[in-house]
Amino acid sequence: MSAVSVFAPAKLNLFLAITGRRPDGFHDLVSVVAPLTWGDTVRAEAGTPGELTLACDDPAVPADETNLILRAERAWAAATGWAGGATFFLEKRIPMGAGLGGGSSDAVAALKALEALAGPEVRLAPTALAGVAAGIGSDCPLFLTGGPAVMRGRGERVGALPPEPAGRLTGRRVLVFKPGFSIATPWAYARLAAGAPGSYLPAAEAEARLAAWIGDSRAKAEGLPFNSLEAPAFRKFPTLPLLLEQLRSDFGVSAGMSGSGSACFALLPEGADAGAVAARVRREWGTSAFVREARILPPG
């Protein structure tokens, strides 16, 4: 194959319990994560052997070595010994500093594109590919699986949700919205760690809450939103909880923050007027707000 185009979905953390700090400085978490029907596109073409380049339609996206696509390319080439070259082009749609997994999803899309370009002779075993993904970013392994998943550890242990609870999530309409400001993930985790141990949800409690939701076939997606990182984000940016509270009380929707923010989401019932909710977001957060409707992707 000489050219390939790979969809890089955005994700939402519908449930994100941070359970404690690990000896390696990262945090252990238990999270229900859902990839969306909306995201970036990574296009790749075979290039000059040994050369890996990246261009992007958004000038705000760094196209240098800090970009996770280039880090993914280099890590994959080192792991496989592949000596080919590739030219990447990123169509950026997912806002950065949002907790929507854009950079991680792009990186995994790049790994999939490289596999397609290089052909089956240079393929890594699934566990080796997952190891490469985990080395690039905590959210990367998630994007190797499709559909709603449960993430554990630092994010490297990913399992599909059982079919019945996954069915309560797939196809659900969501409104994703982000204010004009971003939140840096290391900042959010550092603020959470400053409030330890009270800021963490004990692992047993997190697992019990998740198991209760999974085990109750009448439980809806609406019962899932929880996010340990809301506490530090909401303290610094009170406009986040103010708007979420308005959406809950005026539209009756379930809403929360995704990942380390600053993007938030509302779960929209099928007949809900998404335009009215979007208009409220824009009224409160102004024209710099990003708003996008999407659905939760099914597995596969």
Binding footprint of ligand C5P on the chain (CB under 6 A): 26-27, 29, 137-139, 154-155, 185-186, 189
Q: How far is the CB of 161 from ligand C5P (least distance, A)?
A: 19
Q: For residue 181, give every residue at least 6 positions away whose Cβ sits within 8 Å of its Cβ, in sequence order, or none.
A: 237, 262
Q: What would the two tokens of residue 68 be?
A: 């996770």
Q: For residue 15, give every residue at least 6 positions away whose Cβ sits within 8 Å of its Cβ, in sequence order, or none.
A: 30, 31, 32, 209, 210, 213, 224, 225, 226, 227
Q: How far is the CB of 92 from ligand C5P (least distance, A)?
A: 18
CB 241 within 8 A of CB 261: no
Select 21 or 93, whichever has its Cβ closest to ligand C5P. 21
Select 154 or 178, whichever has its Cβ closest to ligand C5P. 154
Q: Name the closest residue to ligand C5P (Cβ).
A: 138
Select 84 or 261, whichever has its Cβ closest to ligand C5P. 261
AA identity, residue 239? T
Q: How far apart are CA 144 and CA 128, in angstroms?
A: 12
Select 25 or 198, whichever has its Cβ closest to ligand C5P. 25
Q: For residue 62, give every residue at least 6 positions away whose Cβ sits within 8 Å of its Cβ, in sequence order, or none.
A: none
Return the residue matching tokens 């141990």. 197
Q: How far is the CB of 178 from ligand C5P (least distance, A)?
A: 18
Select 157 or 173, whichever has its Cβ closest to ligand C5P. 157
CB 295 within 8 A of CB 171: yes
Q: How far apart are CA 90 and CA 92, in angstroms?
A: 6
Return the residue matching tokens 């075993």. 125
Whether residue 112 lies in the annotated active site: no
- Which of 11, 92, 112, 178 is the catalytic position? 11
Q: How far is the CB of 70 from ligand C5P (least distance, A)?
A: 15
Select 123 or 235, whichever has its Cβ closest to ligand C5P. 235
AA identity, residue 286? G
Chain centroid, CA 262 distance in Å: 12
Q: How far is the CB of 156 from ligand C5P (least distance, A)?
A: 9
Whether residue 40 lies in the annotated active site: no
Q: For residue 203, give every residue at least 6 positions away whose Cβ sits within 8 Å of its Cβ, in sequence order, or none.
A: 19, 20, 28, 30
Q: How far is the CB of 189 from ligand C5P (least distance, A)?
A: 4
- Which of 92, 112, 139, 178 is the catalytic position? 139
Q: Which residues are marked as active site?
A: 11, 139
